[in-house]
Structure 1
Amino acid sequence: MKFFLLLLLGLLPLCAQAVEVGERLAPWTLLDQFDQAYTLNDQAQILLVARSMDAAKQVDAALQGQPKGYLEARHAVFVADIQRMPRLIAKLFAVPAMQAYNYRVMLDRDARIAPRYPGAVDKVLWLQLDKGQLIEQREYSSATDLRQALEQVKP
């Protein structure tokens, strides 16, 4: 009996519904690399989600050389899922390194937010929003393509 209960609980996250085009995203709050809170609101037009270090590196490469406030000017929010990273490594090395970035990174330390938006682990998920409603979903596997897409967005 315990086995079946554990199996059911283990499969429960797989039954969670992915957000579909036309649906409104539920608001959430995360801390950035400076421990400043950000709450998803209707002003956000682009939500970038990186589920792995490789995907986060793609975002970083796409933003190299861009001025501070580049993402904010495009009403874009970047969420990095860092729950697989050992907490000590995150605290001592990764998060302090992120403080040198000239853009905000919303840190999903406990995988509370990123799993709401399923996608490939090695790609950057781009969710196009209009007043909190999902209108388009894309994935990027190269920093060059992501950079070009961001450059097409008018600040």
Structure 2
Amino acid sequence: MLRRLFALLSLCLLLTPAAFAANLAVGDAVPPLALADQFDKPHTLGSDTRWLLFSHDRATSDALHPVLAGLTPPQRQGVVYVADISRMPALVSRLFAVPAMRELPFAVWLARDAANVAMLPREPGKLTVLALQGGQIAAVHYLADVAALPALLAAR
């Protein structure tokens, strides 16, 4: 009986929506992405987006914030930053994290539901950087050191 219960529980964990989501790859069209930022302003991914930055853990986000803040507004042109905060408790998000993000000089698109960003590729402990061209993914980069981001953005 215990073995069957364990097997059923394991199956349920494997059948989460994220398990069915296929990661985007080079050449794929970026699906519509609509998220609100730290000011609850809605955003949708547009054809003018050249870079999509995706952070799915706190350490990467914390390291990325000063790097993005150090970029000039023209350098941030065409760059969209998405942070997955779906695992953060709602109370912590509402009282501490989001108010702190309001101090940042750039928009942070907040994925409060993991299903909204399940298709985005990721590697543990790394920032995902998607180079976009005409609504399609031209390149996928994973940065362990986010300090390399300005050089990557300038290279294209």
Q: Same fold (TM over 0.5)?
A: yes
- Return the offset for 1:147: 2.6
Structure 2: where are the runs of 5+ without partners?
none
Match of 1:46 among 21, 45, 51: 51
Q: For residue 126 of structure 2, what is the amino acid of its counterpart?
A: K
2:114 corresponds in structure 1 to 111
> Partners in 2 of 1:47 and 1:146 — Cα distance?
12
Determine if the alignment matches structure 1 residue 17 to structure 2 residue 7.
no
Alignment TM-score, normalising by the size of structure 1: 0.85
**Does structure 2 retain, via aligned residues, the 8 Å contact 1:61–1:143?**
no
Q: For residue 32 of structure 1, what is the amino acid of its counterpart?
A: D
Q: For residue 148 of structure 2, what is the amino acid of its counterpart?
A: D
Alignment TM-score, normalising by the size of structure 2: 0.85
> Partners in 2 of 1:44 and 1:139 — Cα distance?
18
Give matches, 1:76-155, under 5 Å.
76-153=79-156
**What is the Cα-based RMSD across aligned positions, in Å?**
2.1
Largest Rg, 1 or 2 = 2
**Does structure 1 retain, via aligned residues, the 8 Å contact 2:21–2:118?**
no
Identity across the alignment (%): 33
Q: For residue 25 of structure 1, what is the amino acid of its counterpart?
A: V
Write out per-residue CA displacement over residues 87-141 of structure 1, whole angstroms, 9 at most, x where no aligned residue. Answer: 1111011101000000100000111333211211311000111111111100111
